[in-house]
Amino acid sequence: MSAEPRVVLLTGFDAFGGESQNPAWDAVRRLRGARIAGHEVVVQRVPTAFARCAGVLARAIARHRPRLVLCVGQAGGRSAISLERIAINCIDARIPDNDRQQPVDQPVIDGAPVAYFTALPIKAMLGALRERGFPVEVSNSAGTFVCNALAFHLAHGIATRWPRLRGGFIHIPFAPAQVVSRPGVPSMPIELVADALRVAIRIASTTAVDVQVGAGRED
């Protein structure tokens, strides 16, 4: 009997907020079927909707039985790939989601912890990406929109339902096409993001214990 294949699940959101594309999904789908560090990459598009994102994620995990999940989202205005350290149990939507829902001051999950720290080796990922010249940072805020909600659902699921799973969230900047009418707003080519995700997958798949290096921010 052959061994069960090792799978990495990558997720990316659909377009939201009036945008015609979401670079997270554009980058993620480029890696469909790739083999990285002995793992096969499968991908899943997730709706930018508070009420539906968690169910889509859970069904993808049940279907593919991954060892690693990396959820990717757009953070327009950021200039670097952001490895998210924390997901918080708070929704405070500045704009409506794709279901036209705009919750304010609501928990992601009633009765769940206030926050979860990622178990990903984000400092090792940071170092590997920096060595290869990628603009990258450790972020201490995933916001309070659907990206953070999905990150929190994933973290809560790992804590309560999927104890053998490893996972976390990565934010990426706008794509170049999105900033044509936004002078001075940073962007990053989709191809560069996809290459960075390859590195992130390899390090997250092969690093059991994270390194201790400073990556805090004062702002």
- What is the pLDDT, as a whole number, of residue 211? 81
Is 147 an active-site residue?
yes
Q: 41: Cβ–Cβ under 8 A, 6 or more apart, which residues? A: 7, 8, 10, 31, 32, 33, 34, 35, 201
* Average of per-residue pLDDT values in the chain: 95
Residue 11 DSSP label: E
Is 90 an active-site residue?
no
pLDDT at 59 exceeding the cut of 80: yes
pLDDT in tens, 65-93: 999 999 999 999 999 999 999 999 999 99
The catalytically annotated residue of 39, 84, 153, 156 is: 84
- What is the pLDDT, as a whole number, of residue 1? 37
- What is the pLDDT, as a whole number, of residue 214? 79
The catalytically annotated residue of 39, 153, 156, 171 is: 171
Question: pLDDT band at 218, cuts 50/70/90?
Answer: low
pLDDT at 206 exceeding the cut of 60: yes
23: region left, alpha or beta (phi > 0 left; psi from -120 to 50 alpha): alpha
pLDDT at 181 exceeding the cut of 70: yes
- Helix, strand, coil % (nearest 5) of the chain? 30, 25, 45
* Short-list 98, 90, 66, 52, CA closest to 168: 66
The catalytically annotated residue of 147, 156, 191, 218 is: 147
Q: Averaged over 104-118, what is the pLDDT?
A: 98
Which tokens hold the place of 188? 């990053």
- Whole-number Å distance between alpha carbons of 106 and 151: 16
